[in-house]
Amino acid sequence: MKKSVFLGALTVAGLAAGAASAATLDDVKAKGFLQCGVTTGLTGFAAPDANGEWEGFDVGVCRAVAAAIFGDPTAVKFTPTTGKTRFTALASGEIDMLARNTTWTFTRDVDLKFEFTGINYYDGQGFMVPKELGVTSAKELDGATVCIQTGTTTELNLADYFRANNMSYEPVPIETNSEAQQQYLANACDVYTTDRSGLAATRATFENPADHVILPETISKEPLGPLVRHGDHEWGDVVRWVLNALIIAEEKGVTSANVDELAKGTDNPEINRLLGTEGSYGEILGLDAAWAVNAIKAGGNYGELFEKHIGENTPIGLARGLNAQWTDGGLLYAPPFR
Amino acid sequence: MSDTSFVRRDMLEPQTPPPSQVGVIGWIRENLFSGWFNSILTLASIYVIYWVLASVLPWVLQSSWTATSLNECREQIAVAYGEGTSGACWAVIRERYLQLIYGFYPSELYWRPNLAFILMIFALAPVLYPNVPRKMLWFSGLYPFIAGWLLWGGTIWTPIAIVAGFAVGYGLFRVLIDRFGSLAAVIAAVLGTVLWWLLLAGPVAATLASAIPIGLTPVESRQFGGFMLSIIIGVTGIGASLPLGIVLALGRQSDLMILKSLSVGFIEFIRGVPLITLLFVASTLLNIFMPPGTNFDIILRVVIMVTLFASAYIAEVVRGGLAALPRGQYEAADALGLDYWKSMRLIILPQALKISIPGIVSTFIGLFKDTTLVSIIGLLDPIGFSNAIRANAEWQGIVWELYAFIALLFFIFCFFMSQYSMSLERRLQTGHK
- Give pLDDT tens digits for B323-332: 999 999 999 9
At A35 the three-state DSSP class reads strand
Among A11, A95, A192, A205, the strongest candidate for a mutation testing the B interface, having the largest count of B CBs within 10 A, is A205
Same domain flag for A117 and A130: no
* CA torsion angle A38 A42 A43 A46 (round to 10): 10
Same domain flag for B313 and B418: yes
User: Do the Cβ atoms of B284 and A92 come within 8 Å?
Assistant: yes
Q: Which of B337 and B292 is assigned the larger pLDDT?
A: B337
C-alpha closest to that of B165 among B207, B203, B198: B198
Residue A74 lies in a domain: yes
Domain boundary (A203, A220, A237) is at: A220
At B293 the three-state DSSP class reads coil
Same domain flag for B229 and B263: yes
Contact predicate B354/B308, CB 8 Å: no
Residues of B within 8 A of A93 (CB-CB) are 292-293
pLDDT value at position A130?
Answer: 93
Same domain flag for A229 and A324: yes
pLDDT value at position A15?
Answer: 42
Residue B55 lies in a domain: yes
- The amino acid that residue B398 corresponds to is I
Residue A19 lies in a domain: no
Residue B320 lies in a domain: yes
User: Do the Cβ atoms of B396 and A82 come within 8 Å?
Assistant: no
User: Do the Cβ atoms of A89 and B287 come within 8 Å?
Assistant: yes
Domain boundary (A220, A249, A274) is at: A220
Structurally, how many domains does chain A consist of?
2
SS3 annotation, B388-401: HHHCCCCCCCCCHH
Question: Whole-angstrom Cα distance, residue B218 to residue B199?
Answer: 23
Cβ of residue B221 closer than 8 Å to a chain A Cβ? no
Assess whether pLDDT exceeds 60 at residue A50. Answer: yes
The CA-CA-CA angle for residues A202, A205, A207, to 5°, reads: 125
Residue A306 lies in a domain: yes
ipTM of the complex: 0.81
Assess whether pLDDT exceeds 50 at residue A5. Answer: no
Same domain flag for A29 and A75: yes
Same domain flag for B364 and B229: yes
* Residue B39 CA neighbour count, 13 Å, CB half: 5
Same domain flag for B290 and B336: yes
Cβ of residue A94 closer than 8 Å to a chain B Cβ? yes
Contact predicate B26/B20, CB 8 Å: yes
Tell me the DSSP string of B195-253. HIIIIIHHHHHHHHHHHS--EE----GGG--HHHHHHHHHHHHHHHHHHHHHHHHHHHH
pLDDT value at position A3?
Answer: 41
Tell me what the mean pLDDT of segment B193-215 comes to: 84
Residues of B within 8 A of A49 (CB-CB) are 392
Alpha helices in chain A (DSSP H): 2-21, 24-31, 57-70, 86-91, 106, 153-164, 177-185, 196-204, 233-252, 259-262, 269-275, 281-285, 291-299, 302-309
pLDDT value at position B3?
Answer: 67
Residues of A within 8 A of B289 (CB-CB) are 9-10, 13
pLDDT value at position A303?
Answer: 95
Residues of B within 8 A of A92 (CB-CB) are 284, 287-288, 290, 292
User: Do the Cβ atoms of A41 and B377 come within 8 Å?
Assistant: no
User: Do the Cβ atoms of A52 and B99 come within 8 Å?
Assistant: yes
Cβ of residue B399 closer than 8 Å to a chain A Cβ? yes
Residue B149 lies in a domain: no
CB atoms < 10 A from the CB of B73, how many? Answer: 25
Residue A195 lies in a domain: yes
Backbone phi, then psi, for A289, in 5-degree steps? Answer: -65, -25
pLDDT value at position A16?
Answer: 44
Q: Which of A64-68, A313-317, B117-121, B142-146 has the least mean pLDDT?
A: A313-317
What CATH number has the domain bearing residue A47? 3.40.190.10
Same domain flag for A242 and A93: yes
Q: What percent of chain B has pLDDT over 90?
A: 46
Residue B138 lies in a domain: no
Assess whether pLDDT exceeds 80 at residue A308. Answer: yes
- Write the CB contacts of B317 (distance below 8 Å, at least 6 apart in sequence): B245, B356, B359, B360, B363
Which of A:24-83 have CB within 8 Å of B?
A: 39-44, 46-50, 52, 77, 79-82
Assess whether pLDDT exceeds 90 at residue B247. Answer: yes
Same domain flag for A288 and A251: yes
Tell me what the mean pLDDT of segment A28-49 comes to: 90
User: Do the Cβ atoms of A202 and B280 come within 8 Å?
Assistant: no
> Whole domain around residue A116: which residue ranges?
24-122+223-328
Residue B172 lies in a domain: yes
pLDDT value at position B430?
Answer: 72
- Write the CB contacts of A175 (distance below 8 Å, at least 6 apart in sequence): A149, A150
> Whole domain around residue B334: which residue ranges?
222-428
Q: How does the average pLDDT of chain B come out, rounded? A: 88
Same domain flag for A118 and A159: no
User: Do the Cβ atoms of A178 and B397 come within 8 Å?
Assistant: yes
Residue A334 lies in a domain: no
Assess whether pLDDT exceeds 50 at residue A19. Answer: no
Question: Whole-angstrom Cα distance, residue A330 to residue B327?
Answer: 82
Residue A10 lies in a domain: no
CA distances, A131 to each of A137, A209, A317, B390 (Å): 12, 10, 19, 25
Tell me the DSSP string of A100-121. EEEE--HIIIIITTEEE---SE
User: Do the Cβ atoms of A178 and B288 come within 8 Å?
Assistant: no
- The amino acid that residue A288 corresponds to is D
Tell me what the mean pLDDT of segment A307-329 comes to: 90
pLDDT value at position B82?
Answer: 84
Q: How does the average pLDDT of chain A come out, rounded? A: 88
CA distances, B33 to each of B27, B42, B45 (Å): 9, 7, 12
Domain boundary (B47, B68, B93) is at: B93
Cβ of residue B281 closer than 8 Å to a chain A Cβ? no
Tell me what the mean pLDDT of segment B345-373 comes to: 91
Structurally, how many domains does chain B consist of?
3
What CATH number has the domain bearing residue B231? 1.10.3720.10
Backbone phi, then psi, for A214, in 5-degree steps? Answer: -100, 120
Same domain flag for B276 and B385: yes
Cβ of residue A144 closer than 8 Å to a chain B Cβ? no
Same domain flag for B182 and B329: no
Same domain flag for A144 and A103: no
Cβ of residue B218 closer than 8 Å to a chain A Cβ? no
- The amino acid that residue B100 corresponds to is L
Cβ of residue A21 closer than 8 Å to a chain B Cβ? yes
Sorting pLDDT into bands at 50, 70 and 90, what band is B404? very high
User: Do the Cβ atoms of A93 and B293 come within 8 Å?
Assistant: yes
Among A15, A31, A92, the strongest candidate for a mutation testing the B interface, having the largest count of B CBs within 10 A, is A92
Residue A7 lies in a domain: no
Sorting pLDDT into bands at 50, 70 and 90, what band is B12? confident
Tell me what the mean pLDDT of segment B33-41 comes to: 90
Q: Which helix (H) or strand (E) holds B396?
A: none
Measured in whole angstroms, the distance separating CA B74 from the mean position of its chain's CA atoms is 38
Contact predicate A175/A150, CB 8 Å: yes
Same domain flag for A115 and A227: yes
Contact predicate B100/B406, CB 8 Å: yes
Query: In this structure, are strands A125-130 and A212-214 parallel, antiparallel, or unpaired?
Result: antiparallel
Among positive and negative, which fits the CA dihedral A36, A41, A46, A50?
positive
Residue A11 lies in a domain: no
Residue B99 lies in a domain: no
Question: Whole-angstrom Cα distance, residue B192 to residue B201?
Answer: 12
Backbone phi, then psi, for A248, in 5-degree steps? Answer: -60, -40
Same domain flag for A207 and A73: no
Same domain flag for B199 and B346: no
pLDDT value at position B285?
Answer: 80
Same domain flag for B296 and B401: yes
Tell me what the mean pLDDT of segment B354-360 comes to: 90
C-alpha closest to that of A64 among A236, A249, A242: A242
Query: In this structure, are strands A114-116 and A125-130 parallel, antiparallel, or unpaired?
Result: unpaired
pLDDT value at position A227?
Answer: 95
Contact predicate A222/A152, CB 8 Å: no
Q: Which helix (H) or strand (E) holds B193?
A: helix B182-195
Return the DSSP state at A49: -
Domain boundary (A187, A220, A253) is at: A220
pLDDT value at position A177?
Answer: 75
Q: What percent of chain A has pLDDT over 70?
A: 93
Same domain flag for B206 and B236: no
Assess whether pLDDT exceeds 80 at residue A62. Answer: yes
Residue B18 lies in a domain: no
Same domain flag for B350 and B239: yes
Same domain flag for A91 and A230: yes
Same domain flag for B403 and B273: yes
Residue B382 lies in a domain: yes
Cβ of residue A204 closer than 8 Å to a chain B Cβ? yes
Backbone phi, then psi, for B231, in 5-degree steps? Answer: -70, -40
Same domain flag for A68 and A134: no
Same domain flag for B227 and B188: no
Backbone phi, then psi, for B155, in 5-degree steps? Answer: -70, 150
Same domain flag for A143 and A99: no
User: Do the Cβ atoms of B96 and A50 come within 8 Å?
Assistant: yes
CA distances, B68 to each of A50, A209, B71, B76, B99 (Å): 11, 19, 9, 11, 16
Assess whether pLDDT exceeds 90 at residue A66. Answer: yes
Q: What percent of chain B has pLDDT over 70?
A: 98
pLDDT value at position B292?
Answer: 63
Question: Whole-angstrom Cα distance, residue A176 to residue A274?
Answer: 42
Q: How far is A228 from chain B (nearest CA, A)?
A: 15
